[in-house]
Amino acid sequence: MVHKLDQSLETSSGKAILANLRNSIGRPLSQSVAIWPFMFENLPKEFLSRGQSASKKEIAILTTLQLYAMYRQGKQAPARENGQEKGSKNIGYSLSALRVGDSTAAIDRRFNALITATTYDELIHHLRQMLKLLKSKMFGETNIDFGKLAQDLYKFLVGKDENIRLSWARAYYRIYPKGGVESDQQ
Protein backbone atom coordinates (compact mmCIF):
# COMPACT_ATOMS: atom_id res chain seq x y z
CA MET A 1 0.00 0.00 0.00
CA VAL A 2 2.92 2.33 0.72
CA HIS A 3 4.29 1.59 -2.75
CA LYS A 4 0.92 2.56 -4.23
CA LEU A 5 1.01 5.82 -2.26
CA ASP A 6 4.59 6.47 -3.41
CA GLN A 7 3.42 6.16 -7.01
CA SER A 8 0.61 8.68 -6.53
CA LEU A 9 2.38 11.37 -4.48
CA GLU A 10 2.11 14.00 -7.21
CA THR A 11 -1.52 13.34 -8.11
CA SER A 12 -4.45 15.13 -6.54
CA SER A 13 -5.99 11.82 -5.46
CA GLY A 14 -2.71 10.75 -3.83
CA LYS A 15 -2.44 14.03 -1.96
CA ALA A 16 -6.06 13.67 -0.83
CA ILE A 17 -5.42 10.16 0.51
CA LEU A 18 -2.37 11.38 2.44
CA ALA A 19 -4.36 14.30 3.87
CA ASN A 20 -7.18 11.97 4.90
CA LEU A 21 -4.67 9.62 6.55
CA ARG A 22 -3.13 12.51 8.49
CA ASN A 23 -6.60 13.68 9.55
CA SER A 24 -7.40 10.19 10.82
CA ILE A 25 -4.49 10.16 13.28
CA GLY A 26 -5.75 9.47 16.78
CA ARG A 27 -9.13 8.24 15.57
CA PRO A 28 -10.27 4.63 15.45
CA LEU A 29 -10.80 3.07 12.04
CA SER A 30 -14.56 3.12 12.63
CA GLN A 31 -14.48 6.94 12.72
CA SER A 32 -12.14 7.38 9.76
CA VAL A 33 -14.68 7.10 6.95
CA ALA A 34 -12.61 9.10 4.44
CA ILE A 35 -9.87 6.46 4.36
CA TRP A 36 -12.13 3.42 4.07
CA PRO A 37 -12.07 3.26 0.26
CA PHE A 38 -8.26 3.24 0.13
CA MET A 39 -7.89 0.85 3.08
CA PHE A 40 -10.50 -1.70 2.15
CA GLU A 41 -9.75 -1.73 -1.59
CA ASN A 42 -6.08 -2.47 -0.96
CA LEU A 43 -6.01 -4.75 2.07
CA PRO A 44 -5.84 -8.48 1.40
CA LYS A 45 -9.12 -10.18 2.26
CA GLU A 46 -7.51 -12.25 5.04
CA PHE A 47 -6.46 -9.04 6.85
CA LEU A 48 -10.02 -7.77 7.12
CA SER A 49 -11.91 -8.24 10.36
CA ARG A 50 -15.05 -10.31 10.28
CA GLY A 51 -16.21 -8.89 13.60
CA GLN A 52 -17.46 -5.52 14.68
CA SER A 53 -14.06 -4.11 15.63
CA ALA A 54 -10.90 -3.65 13.58
CA SER A 55 -8.49 -6.58 13.38
CA LYS A 56 -4.96 -6.25 14.74
CA LYS A 57 -3.67 -6.34 11.16
CA GLU A 58 -6.02 -3.51 10.17
CA ILE A 59 -4.88 -1.47 13.18
CA ALA A 60 -1.17 -2.03 12.47
CA ILE A 61 -1.56 -1.16 8.79
CA LEU A 62 -3.70 1.92 9.48
CA THR A 63 -1.18 3.18 12.04
CA THR A 64 1.68 2.63 9.61
CA LEU A 65 -0.14 4.47 6.83
CA GLN A 66 -0.87 7.37 9.17
CA LEU A 67 2.80 7.55 10.18
CA TYR A 68 3.79 7.37 6.51
CA ALA A 69 1.42 10.22 5.63
CA MET A 70 2.77 12.32 8.49
CA TYR A 71 6.40 11.64 7.50
CA ARG A 72 5.74 12.26 3.79
CA GLN A 73 4.00 15.60 4.23
CA GLY A 74 5.74 18.17 2.05
CA LYS A 75 8.20 15.69 0.53
CA GLN A 76 8.45 14.33 -3.00
CA ALA A 77 11.01 11.51 -2.94
CA PRO A 78 9.96 8.09 -1.62
CA ALA A 79 10.36 7.73 2.13
CA ARG A 80 11.59 4.18 2.00
CA GLU A 81 14.33 2.23 0.35
CA ASN A 82 13.47 0.57 -2.92
CA GLY A 83 14.77 -2.92 -3.61
CA GLN A 84 16.33 -3.63 -0.27
CA GLU A 85 18.69 -6.39 -1.36
CA LYS A 86 20.47 -6.39 1.97
CA GLY A 87 17.35 -7.13 3.99
CA SER A 88 14.81 -5.03 5.75
CA LYS A 89 15.76 -2.60 8.47
CA ASN A 90 13.52 -1.83 11.41
CA ILE A 91 12.59 1.58 12.74
CA GLY A 92 15.44 1.46 15.28
CA TYR A 93 17.89 1.62 12.39
CA SER A 94 16.13 4.63 10.86
CA LEU A 95 15.95 6.43 14.20
CA SER A 96 19.66 5.82 14.79
CA ALA A 97 20.28 8.61 12.26
CA LEU A 98 19.36 10.98 15.09
CA ARG A 99 22.34 9.79 17.13
CA VAL A 100 24.85 12.23 15.68
CA GLY A 101 27.42 14.25 17.53
CA ASP A 102 28.67 13.84 21.06
CA SER A 103 25.45 14.57 22.92
CA THR A 104 22.94 11.81 22.30
CA ALA A 105 21.53 11.62 25.84
CA ALA A 106 18.32 13.54 25.08
CA ILE A 107 17.47 11.55 21.97
CA ASP A 108 18.39 8.30 23.73
CA ARG A 109 15.93 9.18 26.53
CA ARG A 110 13.19 9.70 23.95
CA PHE A 111 14.03 6.40 22.27
CA ASN A 112 14.02 4.60 25.62
CA ALA A 113 10.56 6.04 26.35
CA LEU A 114 9.46 4.61 23.00
CA ILE A 115 10.76 1.10 23.57
CA THR A 116 9.56 0.90 27.17
CA ALA A 117 5.98 1.81 26.23
CA THR A 118 3.60 -0.67 27.81
CA THR A 119 0.56 -0.04 25.62
CA TYR A 120 0.10 0.25 21.89
CA ASP A 121 -1.28 3.78 22.20
CA GLU A 122 1.74 4.85 24.25
CA LEU A 123 4.10 3.24 21.74
CA ILE A 124 2.43 5.05 18.84
CA HIS A 125 2.48 8.37 20.70
CA HIS A 126 6.25 8.12 21.23
CA LEU A 127 6.84 6.76 17.72
CA ARG A 128 4.92 9.67 16.19
CA GLN A 129 7.07 12.12 18.20
CA MET A 130 10.29 10.38 17.15
CA LEU A 131 9.29 10.44 13.48
CA LYS A 132 8.46 14.14 13.69
CA LEU A 133 11.90 14.71 15.19
CA LEU A 134 13.53 12.55 12.52
CA LYS A 135 11.71 14.45 9.80
CA SER A 136 12.71 17.85 11.16
CA LYS A 137 16.34 17.05 12.00
CA MET A 138 17.07 14.95 8.91
CA PHE A 139 14.75 16.89 6.57
CA GLY A 140 12.75 13.74 5.86
CA GLU A 141 15.69 12.21 4.01
CA THR A 142 16.12 9.18 6.27
CA ASN A 143 14.72 6.04 4.68
CA ILE A 144 12.09 4.12 6.62
CA ASP A 145 10.93 0.63 5.77
CA PHE A 146 7.22 1.12 6.42
CA GLY A 147 6.43 -2.49 5.47
CA LYS A 148 8.73 -3.72 8.23
CA LEU A 149 7.23 -1.15 10.60
CA ALA A 150 3.73 -2.52 9.92
CA GLN A 151 4.97 -6.05 10.66
CA ASP A 152 6.60 -4.91 13.90
CA LEU A 153 3.50 -3.02 15.04
CA TYR A 154 1.39 -6.11 14.38
CA LYS A 155 3.82 -8.23 16.41
CA PHE A 156 3.58 -5.71 19.24
CA LEU A 157 -0.21 -5.99 19.16
CA VAL A 158 -0.13 -9.80 19.33
CA GLY A 159 2.11 -9.90 22.39
CA LYS A 160 5.60 -10.08 20.88
CA ASP A 161 6.45 -6.67 22.30
CA GLU A 162 9.65 -7.85 24.02
CA ASN A 163 11.03 -9.14 20.71
CA ILE A 164 10.22 -5.81 19.04
CA ARG A 165 11.81 -3.79 21.85
CA LEU A 166 15.05 -5.79 21.66
CA SER A 167 15.16 -5.69 17.88
CA TRP A 168 14.62 -1.93 17.73
CA ALA A 169 17.13 -1.29 20.54
CA ARG A 170 19.80 -3.43 18.86
CA ALA A 171 19.36 -1.54 15.60
CA TYR A 172 19.23 1.87 17.29
CA TYR A 173 22.30 1.50 19.49
CA ARG A 174 24.46 -0.45 17.03
CA ILE A 175 27.25 1.54 15.42
CA TYR A 176 26.97 1.17 11.66
CA PRO A 177 29.80 1.40 9.15
CA LYS A 178 29.63 4.13 6.52
CA GLY A 179 26.85 3.23 4.10
CA GLY A 180 24.86 1.27 6.73
CA VAL A 181 25.09 -2.10 4.98
CA GLU A 182 24.11 -4.32 7.88
CA SER A 183 20.68 -5.84 7.80
CA ASP A 184 18.51 -6.72 10.69
CA GLN A 185 16.33 -9.67 9.90
CA GLN A 186 14.67 -11.21 12.91
Ranges of each domain in the chain:
1-78, 86-180
Enumerate the H helices of the chain as residue ranges: 2-7, 12-23, 36-42, 56-72, 91-95, 105-115, 120-137, 146-157, 161-173
CA distance 60 to 58: 6
Sequence-distant (≥ 6) Cβ neighbours of residue 105 within 8 angstroms:
none
DSSP secondary structure letter of residue 176: P
**Structure confidence at residue 127 as a pLDDT band (50, 70, 90):** very high
**Structure confidence at residue 179 as a pLDDT band (50, 70, 90):** low
> Is residue 42 within 8 Å of 28, Cβ to Cβ?
no
Which pTM was predicted? Answer: 0.84
CA distance 178 to 98: 15
Architecture of domain 86-180: Orthogonal Bundle (1.10)
**Structure confidence at residue 178 as a pLDDT band (50, 70, 90):** low
Residue 23 above 90 pLDDT?
yes
For residue 48, the model assigns a pLDDT of: 82
